[in-house]
Amino acid sequence: MSEPISSENLVYDQNGLLPAIVQDWYTGEVLMQAFMNSEAVDRTLQTGRTWFWSRSRQKLWNKGETSGHFQFVKDIRYDCDIDCLLLLVDQRGPACHTNEHTCFHRAMDGNPLKPAVFEALTRLHGLVDERRRLMPAGSYTASLFEKGRDQILKKVGEEASELIVAAKGGDRDEVVYEAADLFYHVSVLLADAGVELTEVYEELLRRWK
């Protein structure tokens, strides 16, 4: 357990600034990077919303003050040298001024972004929910929603049984495959029930405590 520190204990550069990395509390996605001085840190702590120092305008700014896309702080962490902060936030709307969810929405090789491993469940749930809203023809996911809750529940039960059989058989690759199938069908059930994946995450954290 780390000792609590104040803005005065942080290590700032020669301009009185330190970098602050902003990360989505729910998805783990890195949203943006900005700079803070001691006053920005204090205001962030006092208001529960992010404040930064604009090097171009030479003034404090509250993220979302013009766009309405505020960041509500859930936790603040500091690095081993106490000269960089990580702000975990509940992001309301896009974080980037280009209206992208994250400022880091382009890859250096110019190719479409490759989802990171930690994004797998979030991307899956997003895709499933999109299928539920758009109901595209030929989509297996859409067909499950068309058939209704009972069919979705049946598939969840089938996939759970297949995972049990795979685990009993001791085939590691088969366990991975069947577990992925179960996660997918559970995601369909959550979308059908109107439950967000983040609600499940929060319930898991409550149990952890």
pLDDT in tens, 136-163: 999 999 999 999 999 999 999 999 999 9
Q: Which CATH class is domain 117-208?
A: mainly alpha
Beta bridge partner(s), residue 49: 72
Which pLDDT score, from 0 to 100, does residue 115 have?
A: 86
For CATH 1.10.287.1080, list the domain ranges present in the chain: 117-208
- 18-24 β-sheet, strand order: 30-36, 18-24, 85-91, 71-78
Would you call 179 exposed, middle or buried from its count of C-beta atoms within 10 A (0-12, 13-18, 19+)? Answer: middle
Whether the Cβ atoms of residue 121 and residue 204 lie closer than 8 Å to each other: no
Beta bridge partner(s), residue 19: 35
Structure confidence by residue, pLDDT tens digits, 71-91: 999 999 999 999 999 999 999
Average pLDDT over every residue of 188-195: 97
Q: What is the mean pLDDT of the chain?
A: 95
For CATH 3.10.20.810, list the domain ranges present in the chain: 7-91
C-alpha distances (whole Å) from 147 to each of 8, 132, 137 are 60, 12, 14
DSSP state of 49: B
Structure confidence by residue, pLDDT tens digits, 92-118: 999 999 999 999 999 999 999 888 898
Which of the following CATH numbers is that of domain 7-91: 3.10.20.810, 3.40.50.180, 3.40.50.1100, 3.40.50.2300? 3.10.20.810
Nearest to 51 by CA among 61, 39, 64: 61
Q: Taking the model in full, what pTM does it have? A: 0.84
Taking the CA atoms of 55, 56, 58 and 59 in sequence, report the sign of the dihedral they define. Answer: negative
| CA–CA distance, 56 with 72 (Å, rounded to integer) | 24
